[in-house]
Amino acid sequence: MALITAEQFRESIKDDGREFYCSGELVKDFATHPIAKDLLDYTAMDYEMALDPKYHELLTEALPDGERVHFTFVAPKTKEDLIRRRKVIQTTMHVSGGPGGAKFTGIDGLNGLHLACSRIDRQMGTEYSDRVAKYRRYLMDIDAAIAVAMTDVKGNRTSHPHQQKGHQDYYVRMVSKGNDGIVVRGAKAHISFAPTSHELVVLPCRAMTPGDGDYAIAFATPTNAKGVKMIGRSDPIVVFDDVFVPMDRVFLMGEWQYAHEMPYSFATYHRLSADTYKYAELEIHVGLAALLAEYNGLEKVGHVREKLAWLVMYAEGTEALGKAAVENCEYDESGTPYPNTLYSNVAKFFFASNYYTAEQHLQDIAGGLVSTLPAMADLKNPATREYLLKYLGTGDICDAEDRMKAFRLAQRMCDHVSGNITVHAEGSMAAQKIMLYAVADWERYKAYAKHAAGIHSDHPAVRDIPPHRLMLV
């Protein structure tokens, strides 16, 4: 029963005690609540797609015993698995309009756990990996919708977890432990798709220091566990109000020296996910800019074409760099593949740092109607309908309704969320810079510079090369 239907999924989270608070009230019935319903429908799409013959082959995988499970639950073993993961995400984007509600960030969390725990076990002799494997098997069994919770609410961002003023819970921590499990308290922010998930993988979000032992915890919990409260919209804050976690779902417990492995490993996979779904978003972005240029009769204007060409560069550059990150993937000691760290950070930085130029170009091409577009309801009002049809169409090019819809999309694509997500989801640009600085092979770069300058260097890259006779650049 490792693949469930969308209907089974809907049933599975109904009245199960989960607490999701939205716009000032507890959501009682996801199926009818105006906001929760969208999220539920969207998440259900993952289940529909997995059983749709068009996508079944891509999205599911036969285990050695023949059992068919969702592909994303299988731990990646080869470069081809990473390439397929990209195809899964982009196909889901095309079909459901998003990267997937049931098996997106949570899967990256799971794979990040896998990678981090095998490192920690190797160093510490712990056996977290076994617990992760067992948990993975459980997720397959119930065909789980899974989310990941990493970012703590943090309080004062320049202080360590145990140094916070006011209270000690700005980072999720273990408040007690027993033989059978631990009790956790705190809150995590920006937990995408948590409200409709079955399971939540919880990771620390930063490196820890000696005093931070109680904060160095990783675990999994059902979203309807007692004490779990979700507040917000599709990416709520998740509060852990003294939630009990049984021991076999604890994946880090006080080993503060290794806390950073968790966000690092998660980010390793998740950055690729971002590089991947972003391209499908940008296809829409480029397409909308081209469509508005067409609808405005500006397709042949020089500076509009230049902006469109730039947008192509931006979208296809994002795709090429994302591809490069998997084509040149790396492997950890256990042979587990993960995206090339340098390239996946380059990809993320590339699309994040250029996003606002892309938004500017879209707005520039669109024109002022993005601000002043009448409501779609005005198109239905008989007193105004004819006027809008007459004046907001473009003669021989398009009718007013399509044009208004295109501008409505522009409004959504330029709202306060789109830029914010692009900059912050999967780590801010500062995070990418730190990673790029950390993994760059500075000694090799400097050796090449020394050689070009005529300064002696013993670095293997240059030590056998005689001085250049001509420096052309």
Site for a second copy in 174-233 (CB under 8 A): 186-187, 189-190, 229, 231-233
Least Cβ distance, residue 53 to a second copy (angstroms)? 12
Nearest distance from C-beta of residue 196 to a second copy, angstroms: 11
Size of the site for a second copy (CB under 8 A): 172
Helix, strand, coil percentages in the chain from 3-state DSSP, rounded to 5: 55, 15, 30
Q: In the complex, what is the shortest distance from the CB of residue 471 to a second copy, in angstroms, rounded to a whole number?
A: 5
Can residue 83 be called a binding residue for a second copy (CB under 8 A)? no
Dist. CA 14–CA 44, nearest whole Å:
13
Indicate whether 375 belongs to the interface with a second copy (CB under 8 A). Answer: yes
Q: Is 458 in the site for a second copy (CB under 8 A)?
A: no
**Binding a second copy by CB under 8 A: which of 201, 218, 253, 286?**
286
Angstrom distances, CA of residue 193 to CA of 21, 150, 308: 14, 13, 33
The whole-angstrom separation of Cα 5 and Cα 3 is 7
Residue range at the interface with a second copy (CB under 8 A); choices 130-138, 203-211, 218-226, 413-421: 413-421
* Count of other CB atoms within 10 angstroms of residue 395: 6
Stretch that binds a second copy, among 9-17, 115-123, 131-139, 416-424 (CB under 8 A): 416-424
**Position 370, amino acid:** V
Site string for a second copy, 380-409 (x = CB under 8 A): xx-xx--xx-xxxxxxxx----x--xx-xx
Angle between helices 429-439 and 341-366 (to 10 degrees): 150
Binding residues for a second copy restricted to 263-282, rule: CB under 8 A: 280-281
Which is nearer to a second copy, 175 or 342 (by Cβ)? 342
Q: Which of 300, 333, 335, 458 binds a second copy (CB under 8 A)?
A: 300
Residues linked to residue 147 through DSSP beta bridges, in sequence order: 200
Which residues pair with residue 217 across a beta bridge? 253
Identify the residue among 170, 251, 264, 269 touching a second copy (CB under 8 A): 170
Instruction: In angstroms, give the least distance from the CB of 378 to a second copy.
Output: 5
Q: How far is the CB of 269 from a second copy (least distance, A)?
A: 18
Interface with a second copy includes 428 (CB under 8 A)?
Answer: yes
Least distance between a second copy and beta carbon 288 (Å): 4
Q: Are 459 and 444 in contact (CB under 8 A)?
A: yes
Terminus-to-terminus CA distance in the chain, angstroms? 64
Asked if 450 is part of the footprint of a second copy (rule: CB under 8 A), the reply reads yes
Scan residues 28-47 and list those touching a second copy (CB under 8 A): 38-39, 41-42, 45
For a second copy, give the closer residue by CB, 63 or 437: 437
Burial state string for 47-78 with b = 16 or more CB within 10 A and e = fewer than 16: bbbbeeeebeeebbbeeeeeeebbbbbbebee
Q: Which is nearer to a second copy, 61 or 359 (CB)?
A: 359
Gap between the Cα atoms of 263 and 261, Å rounded = 6
Helix, strand, or coil here: 181?
Answer: strand
Whichever of 101 and 213 has its CB closer to a second copy, that residue is 101
| CB nearer to a second copy: pick between 17 and 246 | 17
Q: Does 78 bind a second copy (CB under 8 A)?
A: no
Beta bridge partners of 148: 201
Q: Taking the complex as a whole, how short is the minimal distance between the CB of residue 179 and a second copy, in angstroms?
A: 30
Long-range pairs, 155-164, Cβ under 8 A, ≥24 = 160/208, 160/209, 160/211, 160/212, 161/206, 161/208, 161/212, 161/215, 162/209, 162/211, 162/212, 162/214, 162/215, 163/211
What is the C-alpha separation between 246 and 177, in angstroms, rounded? 10
221, β-bridge pairs: 200
Q: Find the binding residues for a second copy in span 107-146 (CB under 8 A).
A: none
Footprint (CB under 8 A) of a second copy, residues 12-31: 21-26
Hey, which bits of 37-142 come out as E strands? Answer: 60-62, 68-70
Tokens of 105: 């960030």
Contacts of 383 (CB under 8 A, 6+ apart): none
Task: Identify whether the C-beta of residue 135 lies closer than 8 Å to the C-beta of residue 220.
Answer: yes
We find the least distance from the C-beta atom of residue 101 to a second copy, in angstroms, to be 8
x/- string (CB under 8 A) for a second copy, residues 143-162? --------x-xxxxxxx---
The verdict on 357 binding a second copy (CB under 8 A) reads: yes
- Smallest gap from Cβ 223 to a second copy, in A, equals 16
> Least distance in Å: CB of 212 to a second copy?
16
CB closer to a second copy out of 208 and 358: 358
Q: Is 4 in the site for a second copy (CB under 8 A)?
A: no
Phi, psi of 341 (to 5 degrees): -65, -45
Segment contacting a second copy (CB under 8 A): 79-87, 208-216, 249-257, 309-317?
309-317
Q: Does 57 bind a second copy (CB under 8 A)?
A: no
Beta bridge partners of 338: 330
Taking CA atoms, 456 is separated from 248, 315, 318, in Å, by: 56, 42, 39
**Shortest CB 282 distance to a second copy, Å:** 9
Amino acid at 227: G
Secondary structure E strands in 266-338: 330-331, 337-338
User: Residue 147 and residue 462: Cα distance in Å, rounded?
Assistant: 48
CB-wise, 181 or 393, nearer to a second copy? 393
